[in-house]
Chain A
């Protein structure tokens, strides 16, 4: 043995530090679990006394207590659907282009940069854009159509990204098999690649719906803070206050005597919807994975 080499033994401090840091990491992770449970628990607990059929099916009040959130529920669903209908074709198209046509060069890098920038643009900035273009320049004022179009801007980068990623995950062998049979590029995309990528895209779509459902900044400035007095009102030209906007508005406006209760109930409804969407994603994921196996 070489006498110059000391005996390397783990020092006691290094062992202690290791044990300590393992503990710290576990603690941080568990803290987040606790925060989530506390959060969801508190929201549901506050909202629970308010949640009843009347609250969900009554029209809102403007000055008195006891109003419901029926039109806001409708507007939330309506706006999410409309915005998805607008953004899905665009997002799919752009995602397909990036995955299948753009190659590997500069064009792809530039497109990615644009998608990332749009995805990172704060929703308040999108709101300003929607306000300038749709609300003011087009003269559509605060309306469902202004809101749906601006909300679509929020969805497009997410759908594009999800489509691109899901398509890139399609095994090369399957694409080659399709081309080998004489399929055109378009046929390969629609008959082989998209069906294979459907799970990923569908999951992404549900998550996008969740984000659009919770969005408020955009809608305050484009769809407005009023709900139509008719129900159901499918017109695209009327203001369409959603649940999230309603939650914000009653809280900051403060004219309702029971603003607190309304806000708590609305928050609980939103959390329940999002939990349901989350569960839906898991179910879709699991059933499709089982079916293709």
Chain B
């Protein structure tokens, strides 16, 4: 395992040490260690089935919703173990937002989708809600497109708009980290470009971890890139170095399309 040796001014937001993940008898992830810096975009690439999405979901423990799994090792946010007993999972998920592979707006209006999160935490005042909704939609670069039809159903929007709405929805609860699980895999190139621009803007204030199967995308949007293979971290480095002078042969083979 190789870890970048570059001067980094931003603090470490998420750190992973010797983490393993098993589902039943099957080990999906093994021996992972890495640091993820605040206000940087970290991309995770690798062939499908390498465990990159699973890894992402471990950061906000969302995998626990559907499956019975075991995570061992150490995963920390701001130095606090997120699997420690007594941790408030619900608060963790509020701090670590997530955007999913397929846009998954609730079958409610655009406004209600964004206001859903704040309402969960008891925000009821209309003007406060309006402010949060507008702010989140602006951050997600969607405000101008939807400001006149906030009451319309979110399911009637285009795929790209839906995905930006999901980003706005996640931003509305003021997360510190945003996990993105192949957010563009269901979108066309134009919508993809919009999301990528958005990622560049969002990293000003957020820690972003993005899983992608698209290497050009990783090269375009990320500061760091980690290459996963068969549940292990092969190499992690500055993105430009990974794509120009990888230190591991397997990384080079993957990036140049010789396998995967």
Contacts and interface: CB of A to CB of B under 8 A. Distances in A.
Chains A and B directly touch (beta carbon < 8 Å): yes
Interface of A: 103, 171-184, 187, 191-192, 196, 292-293
Contact of A177 (B68, B94, B104, B172): B104
Given A179-B62, A181-B116, A191-B116, A173 B100 contact: yes
B120 interface: yes
A181 B170 contact: yes
Prevailing SS type, chain A contact patch:
helix
A183 B90 contact: yes
Contacts of A171: 104
B120 A191 contact: yes
A182 B117 contact: yes
13 contacts: A176-B65, A176-B66, A176-B98, A177-B106, A178-B106, A178-B116, A180-B60, A180-B97, A180-B98, A181-B117, A182-B95, A183-B93, A183-B120
Given A181-B94, A181-B169, A175 B102 contact: no
A174 B104 contact: yes
Contacts of B107: 196, 292
B62 A176 contact: yes
Contacts of B153: 292
A180 B116 contact: no
Contacts, number: 68
Nearest to B172: A181
B166 interface: yes
A176 B99 CA distance: 10
B118 to A, nearest CB: 9
B65 A179 contact: yes
A22 B73 CA distance: 64
Contacts of A196: 107
Interface string B112-129: 000011011100000000
Interface in B153-178: 153, 155, 166, 169-170, 172-173
A172 B157 CA distance: 20
B8 interface: no
Contacts of A182: 90-91, 93-95, 117, 120-121, 173
Contacts of A178: 106, 116
Contacts of B93: 179-183
A100 to B, nearest CB: 10
Interface string B220-246: 000000000000000000000000000
Nearest to B101: A173
A181 B66 contact: no
A178 B169 CA distance: 10
A182 B119 CA distance: 11
Contacts of B66: 172, 176
A191 B62 CA distance: 18
Contacts of B95: 182
Q: Which 3 A-B pairs have the closest CB atoms?
A: A182-B94, A173-B104, A180-B98
A180 B170 contact: yes
A293 B107 CA distance: 8
Nearest to A183: B120
A25 B155 CA distance: 42
A150 B97 CA distance: 49
A175 B90 contact: no
A201 to B, nearest CB: 15
Nearest to B121: A182
Contacts of A292: 107, 153, 155
Nearest to A172: B66
A242 to B, nearest CB: 39
Nearest to A103: B68
B173 A174 contact: no
Contacts of B166: 177
Contacts of A187: 120
B169 A176 contact: no
A195 B93 CA distance: 22
A264 B170 CA distance: 62
Contacts of B91: 182
Nearest to B102: A173
A171 B107 CA distance: 11
A192 B105 CA distance: 11
Q: Which of B91, B97, B120, B166 has the most CB of A within 10 A?
A: B120
Contacts of B94: 181-182
Contacts of B106: 174, 177-178, 192
Nearest to B113: A177
Given A103-B68, A181-B93, A192-B106, 10 more contacts: A173-B100, A174-B106, A176-B66, A176-B100, A176-B104, A177-B106, A179-B65, A181-B120, A182-B94, A184-B90
